[in-house]
Chain A
Amino acid sequence: MTRFAKLLSVFLILSLLALSLAACGGAQAPETSPAGAAASPSGGGEREITIRMEPETGTLDPAGNSSITYWGYAAYALAPLVELAPDGSYDYIIAESCDINEDNTVFTFHFREGAAWSDGSPCTPADYINTMKRALDPACGSGYSDFLFKVKNGKAIYEGSADPDTLGVSAPDDKTLVITLEEPCQYFLDLLFLPVFYPSHAEKATETNGDWCFDPARSLANGPFYLAEYVPEQYILLKKNPYYVQKERISLDSIKLLAIADTQSAISAYKTGEVDVTSADYTVLAEYEGEDDLVILPSMTSYYTLLNWDREPLSNPLVREALSISIDRDAIAASAGKGSYEPTSFFVARYMTSKLGGGEGKKWGEEVDPLLALNIERAQQLLAEAGYPGGEGFPELSFKYPAMEVEAAIAQSMQAQWKQNLGITVNLEAQEYQVNISDRRAGDFDICRMRWTADYADPTTFLSMYTASASYNDSGVASAKYEELLALSEREGEPSKRFQLLHDTEKVLVAEEFAFIPTLAGIGVTLRSPKLGNIVINPSRNTPFYKYATLAD
């Protein structure tokens, strides 16, 4: 055998190896779940749609370190007691009604007859209590545990100073769940779509962050679809749950959540027909303009810029005001990408549904005037008053932001405008994402970008972030007037008056104290097949849900 032939044989071995590996890959296909499989309809045209999801780390356990994957999954597989309908009213799912005592501290939920898990076992209050109790262990890794502090003794249990059994939840019988709160909360029902208020099977889901949640045999669903297949980093296959308490509302047979990391790839996959629904970005706006495929929804995300109150000269309110009113938000939006961002001077997401004036479904930003307006002359005057006429003697500040396209556009635009309008120098410092979070949480910055997405559909998801004791108050905001107004709103039981107080609270924070500088509001761009109908917009996040969607032929 010549040496060359030896080399050839090495090639052949390698190619055989590749083929055998390919064969292994093929054999990996998991079996479908026994849960409910017998009852699912077979034959005929399967009505299946494919939705893109972003691959992300995290568990599917509502009590664990849930993340983007969880949200995509839970929207279909898990059912809350109550959820918000598009018009701001409540859609009762597992509960059929809820009695609330006079001062909004005791919530009694009555379960629907026939509420069940996908293996047919009944869904009871114990399943909801199971999640809450597990999420009050700090080792659970849930980012939503602090919402349980509203429940009586929740905080004390989390901090280890009370026994878990003293939590203010009880189940007098199999059909009744009573939740007692620490203090009155008008928007408690709006919180119920957060993971920690979702159910997990009291007998099967006992290990927090355990691998049961990825196993179709043990991961049960009480929502419209159950987990039939889970292939890590690739897809989640969900099938119609025959035991869903409102199964008459389901039209699809199955939903496949397909993991695609890159947005441009996802847009291509939409064009090839590999997905029916995908989130997209401004690059598709021109191409799909006026077509049914394109859905544009304002997202509940606010972009704003933190000013460090603990550092000179930002501790001076005159300086903060000058910085706040010397920037043109339209210019920032234009540089960040028209169509993906809107200029805003509100801190609260401007499309949040308001209850001012008896809840006519008006949006937060529509019912009052903008909080800040561009006024360069006044800004220059203020800066002079603060001792820096024409920007003279003003120290160079650094502006920290994570190296991401939109954040860079905001920072660059603000830097240029401050230079031009006030004559001050700001140095840009693009950082890696984790480093930026780390510096921000440690208060190690002069100016830092910030972004916040509503956790629930009430302005307090934004407005409660900057009290002296709040864990997100990274920039040292300290305002007695703001905290007083916020406390007043917490005690106000009448919705319209409460919303007026909340508007006042925001005004003090943004346009009196100039605590930080709101700049942009996010916009969600979605591509979806025009064949889909009955898509529900969930007002909590202003994102479309497809659980009750229909598919035209």
Chain B
Amino acid sequence: MLKTILKRVLVGVATMFVLITVTFFLVRLMPGSPFEAENVSAQMIASLEKEYGLDQPLLNQYLLYLEKVLHGDLGISYKKNISVVTLIGRGMPATMQIGLLAFLLAAVVGIGLGIWQASTKSGFIRGLLVSYATLGVSLPGFVTALLLIVVFGAWLQALPVVGLTSPKHYILPVIAQAFGPIATISRLVKSSYSEAMQMDYVTMARAKGLRPWQISLKHILKNAILPVITYFGPAIAFLLTGSFVVESLFSIPGIGKEFVSAISNRDYTLVLGLSIFIGGVIIVANLVVDLLCAVVDPRIKLND
């Protein structure tokens, strides 16, 4: 087990190296300069590029960057004049809070809805839940977020829509973030749960006279949860790395928003730093999920 984990970590490091290299050269391929703006002279661009070492051969810049990354230095954002590490540290709490809360909401509500959908006898409720699941999967995030803002903010004036200054401020962005994942999780749970419901051991459990909730949680869900956990990896990575749409619509100072503006600003160091960070989160999340799968289903062996 330990050996497997070590192997996976090494693969992760190699992946990171490839990620850094590819991203480094890709951002340089984009036309434009980080310092080009409507009102800046050519002389100033040249002077700034020199100051940040962008006038040197690309390979030198690349090697220099690798060396810095190994020392934990992700450089300085060209546009903001602040170190990339500081910027990530500044944006992470907001993104993580929204992401984790949205993940918990999505997992709990998604699993609940999935079970309900699989076990209800009412065609009406099933139809309702199926339509929600379809809607949630197909509705783009910005539509959900704007709808929530317009309905609960502008019309009902029930909830604030700017920033994260009080607990109330969390409600709408978390729902907006969780809306899609809830639908996906409920669909996954529904299909694997209804499959598991047909199993002999469930009939057996019923025959033993166990309580319905015991059967549901201990016997069916435990066996139905595996595909859902596999989905948790990408889902938690997606939620933790922030959503540009939700962050910019709700004016949340997170890293998702930072990422998009960094790309359009050609802020090379910030794009690279955020890629490394997000890549790291995804690799770790996937590793943890694989381990979890092995814990839940002993038939899955990790050592090959």
Show the binding face of A for B, using Cβ within 8 Å.
2-4, 6-7, 10-11, 14-15, 17-18, 21-22, 24-25, 28, 55, 57-59, 65, 138-139, 141-146, 158-159, 209, 211, 231-235, 258-262, 264-265, 267-269, 271-275, 432-435, 437-439, 441, 455, 471
Stretch at the interface among B54-62, B161-169, B181-189, B273-281: B161-169
Pairwise interchain contact B81-A59, C-beta atoms closer than 8 A? yes
Given known A57-B79, A232-B90, contact A438–B36 (CB-CB < 8 A): yes
Residues of chain B from 76 to 93 with CB closer than 8 A to chain A in the complex: 79-82, 90-91, 93
Given known A18-B100, A18-B104, A144-B39, contact A274–B218 (CB-CB < 8 A): no
B265 to chain A: which residues have CB within 8 Å? 57, 434
Pairwise interchain contact A17-B32, C-beta atoms closer than 8 A? no
Given known A7-B296, A21-B96, A272-B154, contact A262–B248 (CB-CB < 8 A): yes
Pairwise interchain contact B160-A274, C-beta atoms closer than 8 A? yes
Pairwise interchain contact A4-B153, C-beta atoms closer than 8 A? no
A265 to chain B: which residues have CB within 8 Å? 149, 161-162, 248-251
Pairwise interchain contact B41-A437, C-beta atoms closer than 8 A? no
Interface residue? B5 (CB, 8 A): no
The 8 Å CB contact of B153, one of A57, A209, A268, is A268
Pairwise interchain contact B163-A234, C-beta atoms closer than 8 A? yes
Interface residue? B137 (CB, 8 A): no
Interface residue? B295 (CB, 8 A): yes
Interface residue? B284 (CB, 8 A): no
Pairwise interchain contact A258-B264, C-beta atoms closer than 8 A? no
B222 to chain A: which residues have CB within 8 Å? 2-4
Pairwise interchain contact A14-B100, C-beta atoms closer than 8 A? yes
Pairwise interchain contact B149-A3, C-beta atoms closer than 8 A? no
Given known A11-B107, A232-B253, A265-B251, contact A18–B97 (CB-CB < 8 A): yes
Pairwise interchain contact A435-B31, C-beta atoms closer than 8 A? yes
B42 to chain A: which residues have CB within 8 Å? 471
Interface residue? B190 (CB, 8 A): no
Per the bound structure, the CA–CA distance linking A211 and B94 in Å amounts to 22
Q: Which residue of A lies closest to B166 (CB)?
A: A26
The number of inter-chain residue pairs (CB within 8 angstroms) is: 160
A500 smallest CB distance to B (angstroms): 29
Given known A143-B39, A268-B153, A269-B153, contact A7–B93 (CB-CB < 8 A): no
B112 smallest CB distance to A (angstroms): 13
Stretch at the interface among B14-22, B43-51, B123-131, B198-206: B43-51
Pairwise interchain contact A433-B264, C-beta atoms closer than 8 A? yes
A259 to chain B: which residues have CB within 8 Å? 251, 253
Per the bound structure, the CA–CA distance linking A211 and B86 in Å amounts to 13
Given known A438-B32, A441-B36, contact A11–B104 (CB-CB < 8 A): yes
Show the binding face of B for A, using Cβ within 8 Å.
30-33, 35-44, 46-48, 51, 79-82, 90-91, 93-94, 96-97, 100-101, 103-104, 107, 146, 149-150, 153-154, 157, 160-164, 170, 217-218, 221-222, 225, 248-251, 253, 257, 261, 264-266, 292, 295-296
A27 smallest CB distance to B (angstroms): 10
A21 to chain B: which residues have CB within 8 Å? 93, 96-97, 100
Q: Which residue of B lies closest to A18 (CB)?
A: B100
The 8 Å CB contact of B97, one of A22, A146, A274, is A22
Pairwise interchain contact B100-A139, C-beta atoms closer than 8 A? no
Pairwise interchain contact A141-B31, C-beta atoms closer than 8 A? no
Q: Which residue of A lies closest to B151 (CB)?
A: A268
Pairwise interchain contact B292-A7, C-beta atoms closer than 8 A? yes
Given known A3-B222, A272-B153, A471-B41, contact A437–B36 (CB-CB < 8 A): yes
Pairwise interchain contact B97-A437, C-beta atoms closer than 8 A? no
A-B CB proximity, top 8 nearest: A143-B39, A233-B253, A434-B32, A18-B100, A138-B47, A57-B79, A271-B154, A438-B32
Per the bound structure, the CA–CA distance linking A523 and B248 in Å amounts to 24
A232 to chain B: which residues have CB within 8 Å? 90, 253
List 15 A–B pairs whose Cβ atoms lie within 8 Å, in order of A's numbering: A4-B218, A11-B104, A22-B170, A55-B251, A138-B48, A145-B41, A209-B81, A232-B90, A234-B253, A261-B251, A268-B154, A269-B161, A272-B154, A435-B32, A437-B37
Per the bound structure, the CA–CA distance linking A233 and B79 in Å amounts to 14
A18 to chain B: which residues have CB within 8 Å? 96-97, 100-101, 104
Q: Which residue of A lies closest to B103 (CB)?
A: A14
Per the bound structure, the CA–CA distance linking A455 and B39 in Å amounts to 10
B157 to chain A: which residues have CB within 8 Å? 271-273
B170 to chain A: which residues have CB within 8 Å? 22
Known A141-B48, A437-B36, A438-B36; further 5 A-B contacts with Cβ < 8 A? A10-B292, A17-B100, A25-B97, A139-B44, A159-B43
Q: Which residue of A lies closest to B165 (CB)?
A: A234
B264 to chain A: which residues have CB within 8 Å? 432-434
A24 to chain B: which residues have CB within 8 Å? 93
B44 to chain A: which residues have CB within 8 Å? 138-139, 141-142, 145
Per the bound structure, the CA–CA distance linking A261 and B154 in Å amounts to 17
Pairwise interchain contact A143-B38, C-beta atoms closer than 8 A? yes
The 8 Å CB contact of B150, one of A10, A268, A439, is A268
Pairwise interchain contact A275-B93, C-beta atoms closer than 8 A? no
Pairwise interchain contact B146-A264, C-beta atoms closer than 8 A? yes
Per the bound structure, the CA–CA distance linking A441 and B154 in Å amounts to 42
Pairwise interchain contact A141-B164, C-beta atoms closer than 8 A? no
Pairwise interchain contact B296-A3, C-beta atoms closer than 8 A? yes
Per the bound structure, the CA–CA distance linking A141 and B262 in Å amounts to 18
Per the bound structure, the CA–CA distance linking A261 and B43 in Å amounts to 31
Given known A234-B253, A271-B153, contact A260–B32 (CB-CB < 8 A): no
Pairwise interchain contact B225-A7, C-beta atoms closer than 8 A? yes
Per the bound structure, the CA–CA distance linking A273 and B159 in Å amounts to 11
B164 to chain A: which residues have CB within 8 Å? 25
